Amino acid sequence: MAHTAMSGSGTTADDDPPLQTAVWRLRSRACWTDAAALLEHDARTGPAAALQRTALLTERCLYTGQGWTDAEDALRTAEAIARSDDERGSAASERGHLAYASTLLAVRDRADEASVALSRSAALLAPASPARPLLDFRRGLIAQNIADSPQSARAAFRRAHAGAANLGDALLLSSTWRHLAALALREGEAAEARHGFAESLRIREELGFLVGTAPALISLAETEEEPEAARLRAEAGRLFRLLGGVPTWLAPHLGPPAPRPAAEAG
């Protein structure tokens, strides 16, 4: 299960503002709509909040296959209020990622739009911009899953990996580990793949990123022997059902989700 990965930073460090801590906790439990609602007021005029809100709603699309209109609306707002080149470049990166998600989940083929938007982002972002590692990661996703170019994907993921490590972006690092491991597995490098998947899982568990933990468990299970593989799959199934069947693309690998109380749906 290499194809849909998380992006962006996530932390519950003690010095985080309360709003960001609340957003992170909701996001990590698959309550993207509730998390986005917390940012709605600031996102009307604040480019950073608008970009974050767009990323949350796009993540919802990737994990559930739903909410495309909400994500598009949030993206248009982010594009409209972006002022600096860095903000415009980050908005272009979000457009590329949303177009990638639409293409990957076969909602609508927007591969050309994704490539153009990410190229525009690369042209706008300064070489040392903190948004560069995420852009590199997203370019890697397109190379890996749409262009079927593993060499280009590996180069992009390695750039993103180094950048994420430099920035201390643990969540992005968990994703670069995961996708580099998937490429290693594809080439028969089982030990390298196992190490990368294990690192990705470790980081997501440490962060408390529940919604990203089941995919990490399933990936690691692909590289383990029984009975450890069965244990990992069972734990993934438990989390999948706990979160109401998210991410939806894990369903073929796991059992049906339990009914999710309305009050917890996000």
Summarised one tens digit per residue, pLDDT across range 114-146 is: 999 999 999 999 999 999 999 999 999 999 999
Q: What is the C-alpha to C-alpha distance for residues 166 and 143, in angstroms, rounded to an integer?
A: 23
Over the stretch 35-76, which tens digit does the pLDDT of each residue have?
A: 999 999 999 999 999 999 999 999 999 999 999 999 999 999
Over the stretch 197-239, which tens digit does the pLDDT of each residue have?
A: 999 999 999 999 999 999 999 999 999 999 999 999 999 999 9
Cis omega (within 30 of 0) on the bond before 133?
A: no
Q: What is the C-alpha to C-alpha distance for residues 80 and 37, in angstroms, rounded to an integer?
A: 19
Nearest Cα to Cα of residue 234 among 248, 221, 247: 221
Q: What is the C-alpha to C-alpha distance for residues 94 and 163, in angstroms, rounded to an integer?
A: 18
**All structural domains of the chain:** 169-248 (1.25.40)
The DSSP code for 258 is P
| CA 223 distance to own-chain centroid | 22
The pLDDT, as a whole number, for residue 256 is 55
Cβ atoms of residues 142 and 112 within 8 Å? no
Tokens of 94: 């979000």
